[in-house]
Every structure is written in C-alpha cells, then in structure tokens.
Structure 1
Amino acid sequence: MALPETTQLTLALRDGVLQVVFDRAGVSNALDSETVEELAAVFEAVADDRSVRAIVLRGAGRHFCAGADLKSIGDVTGADRRAAVVAFNRRFGEVLTMIDRAPQAVVVVAQGAALGGGFGLLCVADITIVTRDATMGMPETRLGLPAAQIMPFVVARIGMTATRRVAVCGLRFDGAEAYRLGVAHTVVDDLAAADRALEGVLADIKACAPGANAASKQLLAMLDGRHMDRLADQAAALFADCLLSDEGAEGTQAFREKRTPRWART
C-alpha cells in the first residue's frame, strides 16, 4: 500500500496508525476541492489494508477545521457555476460516507474551530476527542446556507430533536456541550491532554482484531438505513441553490467582511 502524494494534508503512518493532519492553518484548515480530493485519496488508498488499524484526523495550528472554504467556492465563475458548486458539495458528501464506512477505526482530535463540514467530520468519527474550549456547531444558516451534506450524519450522532435546534438556530457550542449532546466521547483541557487520551484510545483499538473491527463497522452501516446517494444528491442541489441565491451572496459577503448579514440586523 502506497499513500498518495498530498499538499493540503500531512500524512504519517507509524505502528499501524495513520495520522492525517489538515495543513491549511492560514485559512483555519477550511476545506477546498483539493483538500476534499486528497482526503478521498487517502481513505481509498488504505481501504483494503488491515495493517492500518486506526486513522486519526487532526488540524494543524489553532483549529481543527472551520468547514467549507466559502471563498474558493463562492469565487467559482462561468456558465456552469451551479454545476461546480453542486459537484463540490456532493463530493464532500461522498467523502463523509467514505470516512463513516471506513473499515479502520477513525478518531478525530479537535481543537479551536470545528464548524460546518469540520463538525460533520466529528460526527462520522468512531471516537471524537475535543478540547474544552473548542467551538463546534452548524453556523451555516447564519450565512444563508443549509448544512447540506453533514445533516444526516449529525442526526445519526445526536438525534433529530437536537439537530433541529442546532441547525435552525445556527448554534455554536463548546466541548462540554458537545459531550452532553453526544458528539464528543472525551473532553480534555488542552492538546497535551488530548494526546494522552488518544494514546489510550489507540491502545484499546489495537487490542481489537482489525478484521473484527471492519466487520463490526460493516454491520453498523447496514443497520443505519440511510439512503445516502439520493439524499446527498438532493442536499448538494439545495446547497448550490442557496449559495447562488441573494441570501447566499449576502451571507458569504458578510462572512468575508466580518459583519452581520442583513437579515440578522432587525
């Protein structure tokens, strides 16, 4: 098994653990098309390799992942602009499903911002460790957007009732609330404590047979019952319609200018 060449992710494989670090600290590790494709390539590369026992997702610098890179998405131009937005959003949904169904144990260690798509990554991990002062949630609606591809995974993680409140209020919350909701399994004070917690989690994972873990995750996926392909197509279309609408233009512009969008001023 050969790992793919990456520029947006830093990869390190040691003792059966593949560390995948989002390496775009200058933009809070926001997800652009290149990052999403590299993430897909990594999970595809190790899918059949049982010597890789666990995959750990982390973020370089102050933040885990601030979600989609709205600037790169919003700057798409041309006659096929909507098609490009749909394709990006749909592809991210495919990658979330890929991570969710990876045969290896997937662990996320999150500090700083874990918002939107970054929050979705927390919800597809088998084990999620967050720092107490991390900021998580679904602020998309405050930008005039739906939390399109992550929605089914958030519902699976915390339930419909909690997801409704977080989504329609565009809420952000800290590590303690993430633990209360069931997003996080462990809350720690800082990254040093996160590293110690991660060591314990990885020891537990390595105590389990890799084939049995893969079979367990296959069974869990079968019990899920979600029709992901159809849902992801519809979610991508809704996301594109919102992003390219007047509300989407105002929300993304307000985000860039660090100001309150028009609809929130009343």
Structure 2
Amino acid sequence: MADRRSPAILLHTPQLGENIGAAARVMLNFGLTDLRLIAPRDGWPNPAAETMSAGALGQGVTVAVFGTLEAAMAGLTFAVATTARPRGIEKPVLDTPQAVDALSAHPGQAGVLFGGENSGLPNEAVAFCDAVLTYPVNPGYASLNLAQAVAIFCHQWGAGAGLGGRFAGKDEGVGAPAPREELIGMFEHFEAELDRAGYFYPPEKTHVITNNLRNALIRARWTAQEVRTFRGAIKALTLGRGKARVKRED
C-alpha cells in the first residue's frame, strides 16, 4: 500500500507505549509504514505499544530505534517538524495540505518529525528540519495527544495519495435520485390509500393536505430504490388493513 515516496514518521523521545502503538495503527490505516523512534523513554519493544497497534506492528509498520535525532534522520533528504507554537526560526510554515504536497513532490526520502508528550520538539530538533507543519488548533488550547497529531497528518496523507474511502467504487453509496415520474406514482399511490382510509377530511381540504404531504416527502431526495421500498410498505399496510376487515367480518 505504501508508495516508495511515503514519508517516515519520526517520534522524538516518545514516552507512552500506547501512543507509539496508536501512531503505528493510524499510519498503516493510511498507507505509511516507516516508523522511527528516537530515544523512547520505556525502551523497545514495548508490550503496551504492541497491544495498542491492533496488529499494525506485525502487518506492515516497521520500527527502527535510534539514540539520537541525527541517526534517525539518516537517509532523509527533506524533513518537516510539527509544532503548535512559534519558534522564532526562519523556516517555511506549512498547513497539512501544503506539507503533504511538499512531501509528495520531493524526489528523495522525506520524514515528518513529532515531539514527545511532555514538551513537544526542542528547538534544536526543529532546526534540523526544512519546514514547519502546524495545525489549525484552538489558540487557547493547542494540546494534541501525540497519536492524535500523527493521525491528523496521516489522514491528510491518505487523502492526498488518492487512497479513497473504504467503500469507494462499491454499491454502498447513495443511489441516483428517482425520476420525477416515479415520485409522482408514489405520491398518487400513497394518496389513494389515504383517501380510502378516510384521511382527507374535510374533503375540501384534500388539495391543501396533499400539497403539504408532497412538499414534506420531496425534501427527502428519494432514490429509485427508496421509492420502491416505500411503495412496498404502502402495499403491505393496505393488505394488512384488508385482512383485518375480513377477520372482523368473520
């Protein structure tokens, strides 16, 4: 699934194994497989990460552990640092779509660097990167969980890579709108049965009530399948009413 240009995800001094596992899980969901850990607090491997990854660590995501950022960035020719606050460093500042575009266009191996849970990235780590990625978070509360921050980027990467939705191209989507003649047939069927049941009373109000019903129903933007289903329901109610009458007469 992962394109050869898919960026590496680097986690700088992550603390919780659960966050590492959750990051791996969302990476694989959106087609990224290269996970690099820089000095994880609890070492590696981490049972909590294995559990939280829901199998991602065994189904495609590879984990490499490094003692320093410099070592983890070996082989990268372009890197983006994620941060929620200004750093006073002269670097291009990108939003998520811009970052994905830049990473996708880069011909070499790229990476996205995320800071640890305690205090994010140190300025020295940001200085190693070519650009800064920031999210449009609430200025008064810019506190994203590490795995959440990774998820936001991965989702945008998947959208930019054209992965499509899970059901894209299948039959689970909404069908085409029903032709007007099918809607009219449904209205007339429904109204005929309502008339038989004595719903239109007083009779002189029939036209107004009918228009109100049609206005309410047409706002639902019926598909052809929904029209057939509703007419089947009308028919079932009609048959049921007939059976009840026969039973009462008996």
TM-score by length of 2: 0.23
- Greater C-alpha Rg: 2
Structure in which a larger fraction of residues adopt helix: 1
